């Protein structure tokens, strides 16, 4: 390769100081070394990188383009070097956190601001799954830390704690036929109408279903946000996390109804592999050990 990081550093230093002697002083080199390196690079590239006006140098268009791109590389390599030092001190290169779609992503914003102040070099990846799909991501090592809702599997090798509880409300839009029904609404009446159901995202574990009747008409959606929107539009009924629909209940865009068979509250779990000893994983596990839905 004709170009190197050292060559880009030299060109950058000349541009900053305006001369080879200034670049030599900045880089702690002798001026003849700087002059030779520039001449050799121009010869190899067959390009003129500097206009010479006595001791003063200015970049040609080609030199300017090279330096603009080169500075990005210098910055990237500087970041890489810094990350490697941090990773060597016990922080992971990357941490993946998977959370159930029932958990709104905004609860992590303040945590991310605080984590960024550590400047530890760990890259954070957030993804969502649904029901058993969250546990599956942890078991298949697609996640380092998970926040799951519902039943907790009895697996060994994992650190698990309950951090919250989700309460559910049976809701329909005011335009839905069930809005005028006598309460508590009987199960056989629900069978006549369409339910909006969130699909379990598990690929290999048995998929979980909640509140579905055999043969019932249904619209299956990928996440809780879509379920809320479809129920607001009057397309069907279903149970929704009460703390996520407080505004809809207040404004009347959704109505809470009493049903014969209510959905009981479900626990929220925080879990990670016991073998995960990284500093970033430990920080996130400790930070997220709180009732997350209270932040909504």
Choosing among 2.60.120.580, 3.30.70.890, 3.40.190.10, 3.30.70.2740, the CATH entry for 94-163+267-295 is 3.40.190.10
Query: Which 8-state DSSP code applies to residue 39?
Result: H
Task: Please give the Cα distance from 155 to 162 (Å, whole number).
Answer: 15
Task: Please give the Cα distance from 138 to 157 (Å, whole number).
Answer: 11
**Count of CB atoms situated within 10 Å of the CB of 45:** 15
Query: What string of pLDDT tens digits covers the 296 residues of the chain?
Result: 577 888 888 988 888 888 888 888 888 888 888 888 888 888 888 888 888 877 778 888 988 898 888 888 888 887 777 667 566 667 888 899 999 999 999 999 999 999 999 888 788 999 999 999 999 999 998 999 999 999 999 999 999 999 999 999 999 999 999 999 999 999 888 888 999 999 989 888 766 666 666 667 889 999 999 999 999 999 999 999 999 999 999 999 999 999 998 999 999 999 999 887 788 999 999 999 999 988 77
Among 267, 268, 276, 266, CA closest to 143: 276
Q: What are phi and psi of 90, to 5 degrees?
A: 120, -5
Please report which helix (H) or strand (E) contains residue 220, including its range: strand 218-221
Please report which helix (H) or strand (E) contains residue 145, including its range: strand 145-149
Choosing among 3.40.190.290, 3.40.50.261, 3.90.550.10, 3.40.50.300, the CATH entry for 168-264 is 3.40.190.290
Residue-wise burial string across 95-112, b where 16 or more C-beta atoms lie within 10 A, e elsewhere:
bbbbbbbbbbeebbeebe
Choosing among 1.10.3720.10, 1.20.1290.10, 3.20.20.70, 1.10.10.10, the CATH entry for 5-88 is 1.10.10.10
């Amino acid at each position: 390769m004709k170009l190197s990081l050292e060559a880009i550093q030299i060109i950058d230093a000349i541009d900053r100081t305006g001369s080879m002697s200034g670049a030599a002083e900045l880089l702690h080199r002798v001026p003849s070394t700087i002059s030779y390196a520039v001449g050799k690079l121009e010869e190899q590239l067959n390009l003129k990188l500097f206009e010479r006006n006595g001791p003063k140098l200015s970049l040609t268009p080609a030199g300017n383009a090279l330096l603009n791109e080169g500075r990005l590389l210098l910055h990237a390599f500087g970041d890489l070097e810094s990350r490697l030092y941090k990773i060597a001190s016990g922080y992971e290169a990357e941490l993946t956190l998977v959370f159930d779609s029932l958990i709104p992503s905004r609860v992590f914003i303040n945590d991310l601001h605080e984590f960024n102040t550590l400047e530890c070099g760990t890259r954070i990846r957030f993804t969502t799954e649904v029901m058993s799909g969250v546990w599956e991501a942890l078991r298949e090592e697609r996640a380092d830390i998970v926040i799951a809702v519902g039943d907790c599997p009895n697996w060994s090798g994992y650190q698990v704690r309950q951090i919250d509880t989700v309460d559910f409300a049976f809701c329909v839009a005011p335009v839905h036929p069930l809005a005028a029904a006598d309460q508590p609404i009987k199960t056989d009446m629900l069978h006549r109408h369409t339910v909006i159901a969130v699909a379990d995202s598990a690929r290999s574990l048995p998929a979980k279903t909640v509140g579905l009747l055999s043969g019932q008409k249904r619209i299956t959606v990928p996440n809780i946000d879509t379920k809320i929107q479809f129920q607001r539009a009057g397309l069907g009924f279903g149970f929704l996390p009460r703390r996520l629909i407080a505004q809809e209940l207040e404004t009347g865009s959704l109505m809470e109804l009493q049903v014969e068979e209510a959905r009981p509250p479900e626990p929220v779990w925080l879990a990670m592999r016991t073998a995960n000893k990284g500093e970033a994983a430990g920080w996130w596990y400790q930070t997220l050990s709180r009732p997350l839905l209270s932040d909504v």
